[in-house]
């Protein structure tokens, strides 16, 4: 019989010190989004499964926990990604004609962890722009993602760029089932040439050659020139390569410390990407810290297809990597019934200071607040002094 206090695998409590660090970073990132004009939304944790998964692809379906609503008898899903919900909000609740910028931060739940030590309950932060089809929106969300990771203290950021149109351009008009397309995307993500050759045996030679070219197209800016030589010369592919060059040029000019590369075969992530897409890594990192890009079709299922671009990241993962110190400096105060002391504590808290009172019997206990000052009585008045 298992102990009542044990949690499911890859589910964990967040204890005070880490929770404080996560909360501090959450505020920093939300403030960064707010300064760029993004408005905060808070979608529900669960929805009817049709709304939550329509148009998102098989991968997200497998990640989503499902349960039966005791009120309606319909199937509900616990969100595994917040983007479809934000698209619903943009389409039906806000329904604005012009540009809309939205951000969010909340837990999502996955049926399986992303890695051996990954959590099944990431804390997803993201920002999304709706209503602008130009590359300016792609660049805006990409720069915000870089800024958020930089504010967290991540050093040596590496940016990988790709574009969903490359694979569509290679496939062209070839008849391919959803299951085969999923197998192609998985093989490209894993750089599995043997699997691609096996899949390509049933496809037209030009498609097979294009897929095998994609798996090798990763590296620095020279990859774009090589792609123009090896991939089909169709307008969709040419437009994608031109857009990637434009984004790389602007990021290089504004963020010279970021290493910009290309992985043109990277089709991992969600199926709703429709254009340029990106992944951002820390120095030497294997797993992406942030992913994003353009997904113009995400609102189509809600009856309002319009341009969209955004990104998301897991705050828990970021905090775990940087050891972000969320401790807030505080003032330590003795506990007393002295009206003067109690009034001074209220005044300081009203000004935004953290004041931690040492309750009777606990005066010498350590705490995780950085109490660098204390309230002391001097000449009949309570004064703040450095400790």
Task: Enumerate the known binding-site residues.
Answer: 81-83, 124, 128, 272-273
How many whole angstroms from its chain centre is CA 78?
Answer: 17
Q: CA triplet 256, 262, 265: central angle to 5 degrees?
A: 160
**Residue 106 contacts by C-beta under 8 Å, 6 or more apart in sequence?**
42, 43, 45, 82, 123, 124
Answer for the pair 48, 62: CB distance below 8 angstroms, yes or no.
Answer: no
Measured distance CA(74)–CA(67) in Å, rounded? 9
Question: Residue 84: enclosing H or E segment and its boundaries?
Answer: helix 83-88
Q: CA triplet 78, 83, 88: central angle to 5 degrees?
A: 85
Q: Strand 290-294 and strand 308-314: pairing?
A: antiparallel
Radius of gyration of the chain (CA): 25
3-state secondary structure (DSSP) of residue 112: coil
How many other CB atoms sit within 10 Å of the CB of residue 21?
22
Assigned token pair, 115: 């890695």
Answer for the pair 311, 294: CB distance below 8 angstroms, yes or no.
Answer: no
Measured distance CA(183)–CA(254) in Å, rounded? 37
Answer for the pair 243, 275: CB distance below 8 angstroms, yes or no.
Answer: yes
Treating both helix axes as pointing N-terminal to C-terminal, what angle do 135-151 and 235-254 enclose, rounded to 10 degrees?
A: 40
Phi and psi for 384 in degrees, rounded to 5?
Answer: -90, 125
Sign of the C-alpha dihedral computed for residues 73, 74, 75 and 77 taken in this order: negative
How many other CB atoms sit within 10 Å of the CB of residue 359?
10
Binding-site residue ranges for L-histidine: 81-83, 124, 128, 272-273
């Amino acid at each position: 019989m298992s102990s009542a206090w044990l949690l499911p695998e890859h589910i964990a409590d967040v204890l005070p010190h880490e929770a404080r660090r996560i909360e501090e970073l959450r505020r920093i990132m939300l403030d960064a989004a707010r300064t760029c004009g993004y408005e905060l939304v808070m979608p529900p944790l669960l929805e009817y499964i049709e709304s939550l998964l329509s148009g998102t692809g098989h991968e997200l379906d497998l990640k989503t926990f499902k349960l039966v609503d005791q009120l309606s008898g319909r199937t509900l899903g616990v969100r595994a990604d917040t983007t479809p919900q934000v698209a619903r909000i943009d389409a039906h609740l806000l329904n604005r004609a012009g540009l809309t910028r939205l951000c969010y931060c909340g837990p999502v739940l996955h049926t399986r962890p992303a890695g051996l030590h990954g959590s099944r309950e990431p804390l997803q932060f993201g920002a999304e722009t709706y209503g602008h089809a130009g590359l300016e929106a792609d660049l805006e969300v990409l720069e915000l993602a870089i800024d958020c990771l930089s504010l967290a203290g991540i050093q040596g950021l590496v940016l990988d760029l790709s574009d969903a149109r490359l694979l569509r351009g290679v496939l062209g008009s070839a008849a391919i089932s959803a299951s085969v397309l999923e197998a192609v995307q998985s093989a490209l993500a894993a750089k599995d040439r043997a699997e691609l050759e096996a899949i390509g045996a049933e496809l037209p030679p030009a498609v097979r050659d294009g897929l095998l070219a994609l798996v090798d197209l990763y590296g620095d800016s020279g990859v774009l020139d090589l792609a123009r030589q090896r991939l089909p010369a169709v307008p969709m592919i040419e437009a994608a390569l031109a857009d990637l060059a434009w984004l790389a040029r602007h990021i290089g000019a504004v963020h010279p410390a970021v290493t910009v590369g290309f992985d043109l075969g990277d089709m991992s992530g969600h199926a709703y990407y429709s254009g340029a897409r990106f992944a951002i890594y820390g120095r030497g990192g294997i797993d992406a810290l942030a992913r994003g890009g353009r997904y113009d079709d995400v609102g189509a299922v809600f009856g309002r297809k319009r341009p969209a671009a955004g990104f998301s990241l897991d705050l828990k993962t970021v905090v775990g990597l940087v050891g972000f110190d969320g401790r807030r400096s505080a003032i330590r105060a003795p506990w007393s019934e002295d009206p003067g002391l109690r009034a001074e504590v209220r005044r300081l808290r009203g000004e935004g200071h953290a004041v931690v009172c040492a309750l009777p019997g606990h005066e010498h206990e350590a705490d995780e607040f950085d109490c660098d000052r204390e309230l002391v009585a001097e000449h009949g008045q309570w004064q703040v002094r450095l400790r």
